[in-house]
Every structure is written in structure tokens, then in C-alpha cells.
Amino acid sequence: MNSDQAHILTVNSGSSSIKFALYRVENQLVKLFSGALENNGSENTKMSTTLDAGDP
């Protein structure tokens, strides 16, 4: 990740879930990474992540 490029981190929090994504700002937003923590506070809590794009 180049340190002189702008990035945006989004976080969406609900009563039992948190979703997040990291974007690189270019001519358009490029989603680099995203994920979710679902069923927070229960025995069925699960976390998922996705590497969407970006530098290898």
C-alpha cells in the first residue's frame, strides 16, 4: 500500500453486527478489503473477510 494514496475506511454498526470495508481513492473508489462480524453477542457469532482487490 502506497502511503501517499488516500484511503477510506467505512464501518456500519448495528445491534448485532459490524460491517467494514477499506477503499483506495483513485478516479473511482476501489474496494480493497471488506468483512463482517455477525450475530455479535450470541453463541453463533461469526466473522468473515474478503480480499477484494489491490496490490498483491
**Rounded distance between C-alpha atoms, residue 9 and residue 22, angstroms:** 5
Global confidence as pTM = 0.80
Q: How would residue 5 be classed by pLDDT, with cut points 50, 70 and 90?
A: confident
pLDDT score, position 38 = 95
Cell numbers linked to 45: 457469532
Q: Torsions phi, psi of 3, nearest 5?
A: -75, -15
| Type of residue numbered 44 | N
Cell numbers linked to 51: 480480499
pLDDT at 54 over 80: no
pLDDT score, position 1 = 56
Residues linked to residue 34 through DSSP beta bridges, in sequence order:
21, 50
Q: What is the rounded (10 degree) CA torsion for 18, 31, 29, 39? A: -10
| More confident of the two residues 23 and 1 | 23
The tens digit of pLDDT for each residue in 10-43 reads: 999 999 999 999 999 988 999 999 999 999 989 9
